[in-house]
Structure formats: C-alpha cells, structure tokens
Amino acid sequence: MGITKKITTMTHISECEDLITLEAYASPLLNADHTKRITLFLEGRECGTTMPAILFAGMKLKMMANTSATSEEDMLNLETSVKRNLRHLLTDIHFMKFDDKNLDGSPIVVGKTFQEKIFRHIVWDEPITLSGESDLVRNTKRNRAHTVTMIKTPTFTINSYLCRWALEVDRLSVNNKYVEVDPYLRRLAFETFESIKDIPSEKWKKHVSFSRRIQNKMLVTAFKNALGERVASLPLINPRS
C-alpha cells in the first residue's frame, strides 16, 4: 500500500494514499474531518463523545509502539483494541459523574476529562484508568479553552489541557496563567498561517478551523517528544473521511 508522508499543497484526505503518517494527517494543508466519535451505550442511552482524530491516532501509535502490527488486518485489530480501551475509560468517567457528590456547582465535563486523560497517557505515560478525583476535569474557568487574539493571523482557541502541557514543557506550574505560553502559541499560529495564507479562506475554513490546525500541530509535537520520531512516523490507515 502507498503511504502519504508529507502534504505540500492543499489536499483533501480522499486524495491521499491508503496509509498516512501522523505528520501528514496533521498538516495545515490537509482538509479532513478531524474528529473521531467514540460510541457508548449506557442504560439504553447513547453516551458517546467526540475527540480530535489526531488524539485517536496518537493512541494507536502508543499501542503500535508495543506491538508488531504491520498488515492491514493487524492495524484494524489494533483500532478495535483502542476503541475498546477508550470505551472502558469513558464508561468509568460516566459512572464517576453519576456518583459525583461535589456541591460547589462545578460538574464533571465528560469530554474534557476523557481527552485530557488520553493525552496524558500518551505524552506522560500516565495510566489510562481513573485513579480518583484529581483525574476529573470540572466546568471551571480554568478548564475552558484559552483564546489568543491575533492581528496578522486569525484569532484562535486552545484546549486547556494543551495549555497545561505547554506550561509543563517549559517547567512552569500548571497553575500558572495560560498567557505565559502565548509567545509559543503565537509562533505556532504564524507557522501554521504561513502555509495557508495565500490560499483563499473558503478553501480551508469550512473544512478545518484555524484553531484545530494549530492544535493538531501541538499534538504532533507532543507525540513526537513522547513516543520518538520512529514511532510517530509509523503509517496509519487512512480514514478517508
């Protein structure tokens, strides 16, 4: 099977090869559905959640690092295993939310708890299982997306767990203000916009937001640092979504 390793022009994922690398999948020049739905039924209700597709890809690479998956069948089985593990995690989060006795008016945000737990498992090798209250993300101002206002590029927002990661990488306290990583985020914005600034906005805005393109870049950087270049460059099955 052919492999798309790099994207150099505005491309739709349907134009890519059967296999695609993480770097190509996260390219600012790639138009694709960058979300992944994890379905879950509890007590007769659909309780699934949507996550960034790059985050799901990172989970697959994390598992691929410990397996010898090479064939298409192996990769499909791997994807099934990742989905099963993520459903177990999502189920645990829902059960903790059902049993939550917090009375301060800050409910558990299932989707954000889910994404941050997965991210920290990939990047910091933390357990994929919940250990207690400290793993839960609540609906507080601290856990809302951080907005960076720009002049020469579109204004964008970054998920709070990525801001915390940027603080940790700089060896700062995760309790520091997110504006402390704004210089890093602005640099990413300029780098991202540089590749698409000469392309009519209607050709990329309706497919993938500027914020998502920047966050994809952050995720790839985090995964490369955590998993190493070799693992991060392993090809993945093209979802062709």
pLDDT of residue 240: 73
Number of domains composing the chain = 1
CB 17 within 8 A of CB 35: no
Q: What is the pLDDT of residues 185-233, one digit of tens each?
A: 999 999 999 999 999 988 888 789 999 999 999 999 999 999 999 989 9
Of 185, 134, 192, nearest in space to 159 by CA: 185
Q: What is the pLDDT of residues 59-106, one digit of tens each?
A: 999 988 777 665 667 777 888 999 999 999 999 999 988 877 665 668
Domain that holds residue 89: 3-237
Which tokens is 233 given?
Answer: 């460059």
